[in-house]
């Protein structure tokens, strides 16, 4: 059977774009790609990139205050939301254009519309066209979810936050995951009065418990009004704003309520189940190690598979798919020891196992230190940093590394290389410290604080 395309990609985010480019430019495939929104996906348009720029913007108020304590004649004025967001969207437009140009250079045909799957080899485009493909790749990512209709009607999601016409003076955030905690720090830094409610006992579920506790303390020190073990029981729109009452009795009126209560894969209405593709409980595409679904011609990469929802992972999955199917190099994405960063204030970087995970399967030693760093201790700020290594007692391999500090995301990338290579605690010990730095603690912790 002759197909219109060797590969048709549904979704123009990081994973889909990488797969399309590699399949076309290196695999010689005829590739089509459909994107119903903007090229670049969640990361570029409504996620990593705009969020990180907001993190940068939010840090300057504290930096300028610190400058005064260090002897500079410095003061900070009001934050101009409109000036910042105007520049932000100009930058996102520029990045989106780069994504588009790179696809075209590789020979990919772009369809700027929604696409759905009709059968294992057929795609229906919203512009009325129907095309066939030998292989179909699903790379549509995920979307924020609201707990109920009331929250959807009165609240906003992380997708909406970048399009607000003005910075809210009072913001409530519901949730305790990384998105909720990152935006709590961002808006507090920009001068917004932030209240955060989370029904769990501690924020950042799934991360290392010691790190979670220190981050929660740091968020409160920076001005976030954080309430744990609580959730909304009443919410209504009033002339003065949105009135909220929490289950712990806390009451307040805010300008916006941000629900950061999870994300689900974007598979609804895509036609996958009708085509026979197996989906999981939350709508994720079930795939094997090579990103292939139970239908041999249909593959999926990125957040839509609900494996590890990180942009670099989606990119690697997309590249591995293209190499496997079109490059003659069958290979699976390695999901082990993937480092990550949470851009809270303080920042958190981690790779490998948490102490709690390691206790379940290994006999471990834990090396940990927490202290006030020189830069902020000098001016009397209460900020603390944390460095932690989880070590297997028998093999001596470092199973996990956790850093809470300014720049933790940068530091964990370097540590991840060593840990991915199988570094032992003694390898860390043999490394000479760089002094005076906070990161020298990674190679100077000699005695375990506990074993298990």
pLDDT number for residue 347: 97
Span between the terminal Cα atoms of the chain, in Å: 60
Q: How do the pLDDT tens digits run along the chain, 452 residues long?
A: 799 999 999 999 999 999 999 999 999 999 999 999 999 999 999 999 999 999 999 999 999 999 999 999 999 899 999 999 999 999 999 999 999 999 999 999 999 999 999 999 999 999 999 999 999 999 999 999 999 999 999 999 999 999 999 999 999 999 999 999 999 999 999 999 999 999 999 999 999 999 999 999 999 999 999 999 999 999 999 999 999 999 999 999 999 999 999 999 999 999 999 999 999 999 999 999 999 999 999 999 999 999 999 999 999 999 999 999 999 999 999 999 999 999 999 999 999 999 999 999 999 999 999 999 999 999 999 999 999 999 999 999 999 999 999 999 999 999 999 999 999 999 999 999 999 999 999 999 999 999 99
Sequence-distant contacts of 84-90: CB under 8 A, at least 24 apart: 84/57, 85/162, 85/164, 88/50, 88/53, 88/54, 88/162, 89/162
69: tokens are 């304590």
- Helix H or strand E segment including 85: helix 81-106
Three-state secondary structure call for residue 429: helix
Tokens representing residue 26 in the block: 């290196």
Q: Which domains does the chain have, with CATH numbers?
A: 5-144+264-326 (3.50.50.60), 149-261 (3.50.50.60), 340-451 (3.30.390.30)
435 is catalytic: yes
Instruction: Convert 153-167 to b/e letters by CB count within 10 Å (16 or more is b).
Output: ebbbbbeebbeeeeb
* CB proximity list for 40: less than 8 A, separation 6 or greater: 12, 13, 14, 17, 92, 95, 96, 99
- Please tell me the predicted confidence (pLDDT) of residue 1: 76
> What's the rounded Cα separation, in Å, for the pair 43 and 54?
14
In this prediction, residue 57 carries a pLDDT of: 98
143, 362, 402, 435: the active-site residue: 435
The pLDDT score that the predictor gives to residue 99 is 97
- Could you tell me whether strands 398-404 and 385-392 are parallel, antiparallel, or unpaired per DSSP bridges? antiparallel
The answer for residues whose C-beta is within 8 angstroms of residue 149's C-beta and 6 or more apart is none
CA dist., res. 16 & res. 319, Å (int): 9
Which of these, 101, 79, 81, lies nearest to 89 by C-alpha position? 81
By the 8 A CB rule, do 33 and 112 touch? no
Find the largest Cα–Cα distance for the chain.
75
Q: Rounded distance, CA 349 to CA 356, Å? A: 17
């Amino acid at each position: 059977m002759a197909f219109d395309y060797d590969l048709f990609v549904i979704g123009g985010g990081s994973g889909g774009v990488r797969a399309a480019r590699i399949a076309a430019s290196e695999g010689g495939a005829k590739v089509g790609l459909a994107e119903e929104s903007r090229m670049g996906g969640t990361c570029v348009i409504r996620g990593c990139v705009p969020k990180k720029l907001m993190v940068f913007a939010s840090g300057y108020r504290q930096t300028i205050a610190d400058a005064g304590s260090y002897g500079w004649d410095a003061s900070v004025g009001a934050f101009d939301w409109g000036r910042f967001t105007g520049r932000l969207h100009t930058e996102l437009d520029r990045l989106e254009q780069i994504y588009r140009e790179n696809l075209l250079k590789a020979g990919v045909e772009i369809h700027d519309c929604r696409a759905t799957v009709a059968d294992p080899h057929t795609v229906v485009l919203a512009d009325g066209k129907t095309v066939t493909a030998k292989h179909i790749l699903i790379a549509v990512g995920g979307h924020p979810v609201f707990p109920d209709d009331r929250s959807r009607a009165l609240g906003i999601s992380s997708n909406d936050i970048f399009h607000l016409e003005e910075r809210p003076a009072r913001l409530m955030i519901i949730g305790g995951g990384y998105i909720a905690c990152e935006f709590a720090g961002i808006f507090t830094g920009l001068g917004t009065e932030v209240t955060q409610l989370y029904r769990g006992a501690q924020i950042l579920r799934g991360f290392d418990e010691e790190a979670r506790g220190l981050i929660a303390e740091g968020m409160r020190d920076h001005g976030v009004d954080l309430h744990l073990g609580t959730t909304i029981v009443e919410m209504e729109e009033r002339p003065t704003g949105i009135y909220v009452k929490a289950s712990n009795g806390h009451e307040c009126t805010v300008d916006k309520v941000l629900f950061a209560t999870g994300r689900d894969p974007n598979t609804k209405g895509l036609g996958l189940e009708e085509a026979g593709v197996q989906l999981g409980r939350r709508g994720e595409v079930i795939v094997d190690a090579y990103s292939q679904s139970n239908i041999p011609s249909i593959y999926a990469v990125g957040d839509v598979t609900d494996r590890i929802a990180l942009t670099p992972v989606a990119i690697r999955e997309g590249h591995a798919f293209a190499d496997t199917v079109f490059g003659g190099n069958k290979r699976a994405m390695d999901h082990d020891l993937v480092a990550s960063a949470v851009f809270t204030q303080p920042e958190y970087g981690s790779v490998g196992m948490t102490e709690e995970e390691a206790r379940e399967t290994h006999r471990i030693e834990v090396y940990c230190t927490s202290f006030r760093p020189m830069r902020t201790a000098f001016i009397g700020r209460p900020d603390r940093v944390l460095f932690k290594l989880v070590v297997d007692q028998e093999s001596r391999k470092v199973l996990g590394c956790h850093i809470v500090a300014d720049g933790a995301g940068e530091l964990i990338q370097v540590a991840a290389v060593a840990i991915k290579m199988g570094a032992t605690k003694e390898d860390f010990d043999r490394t000479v410290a760089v002094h005076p730095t906070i990161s020298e603690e990674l190679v100077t912790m000699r005695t375990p604080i506990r074993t298990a």
